[in-house]
Homo-oligomer: A and B are copies of this chain.
């Protein structure tokens, strides 16, 4: 009889998020609630239990137990602060506030449920539908990236303007957009698939990779891209849709985009052109 990893807990700790002092308390509390819930979920549940699909989310994809646990904690935190919530599984929770938290509670859910230490909390604070600041926390290490909309961040993108030889993160290839994927992959100097859009986007913002893209599979929801839309431009880069559609906060989470986060607007355009062929 083989007792595999299925019966054991993920052994690694989930540290406290290291947050910038200026982080808005609503956003900071949501991040801390997410980390605490993720830590507790891993303490109580094995990998198969974390991955168990409990329901269908507002975005039209199944909700795993670990998603649900983390989102519940964030929803409680938002409720304590009396703010609205737009989140992956719950959809739009209207409290009649002028302030809305736009959240991807657990980006990289599959990583989180299986023990691959690459998963994030990512959230945006919006006033009257205008994003004011964004926070991304790499939950497995506590590292965070914070940005205020329209203000320059201390970390900067690589400044790269050309795709040939660039370091690129991609979503995995999908059958309906394989040629697009291969066109981008063939021109990249380095290629990664980390399985966590939000971490891959902040790696663009801090200049560790040159671009992240969904090359044409129309997989990403606005909650996947919201933090990047504030953070990457504030660091000198750009976030666009490969097909030129406007990226907008919309309570309809079934809408999808082929998001591209790149070190410069020129590189974002070149990735988009390469996707379109």
Contacts and interface: CB of A to CB of B under 8 A. Distances in A.
Nearest to A160: B4
Nearest to A2: B159
A8 B192 contact: no
B206 A157 contact: no
A181 to B, nearest CB: 10
A31 to B, nearest CB: 18
Nearest to A10: B208
Contacts of A264: 2
Interface stretch (A87-95, A109-117, A222-230): A109-117
A6 B192 CA distance: 20
Dominant SS among interface residues on chain A: loop
Interface in A192-249: 192-195, 203, 206-209, 236
Nearest to A140: B141
Interface string A259-271: 0000110000000
B203 A156 contact: no
Contacts of A47: 158, 207-208
A185 interface: yes
B6 A209 contact: no
A10 B203 CA distance: 11
B4 A158 contact: yes
A96 interface: no
Contacts of A137: none
Contacts of A208: 5, 10, 47, 114-117
12 contacts: A4-B207, A4-B263, A5-B208, A47-B208, A110-B190, A114-B190, A116-B167, A116-B208, A116-B209, A172-B191, A173-B191, A192-B193
In order of increasing CB-CB distance, the 10 nearest A-B pairs are: A5-B207, A4-B159, A115-B208, A172-B191, A193-B193, A2-B159, A5-B158, A4-B158, A116-B208, A192-B193
Given A2-B236, A4-B263, 10 more contacts: A2-B264, A3-B156, A4-B236, A8-B156, A11-B206, A115-B207, A116-B167, A172-B190, A173-B182, A173-B191
Interface of A: 2-6, 8, 10-12, 47, 110, 114-117, 140-141, 143, 155-160, 167, 172-173, 175, 178, 182, 185-186, 190-195, 203, 206-209, 236, 263-264
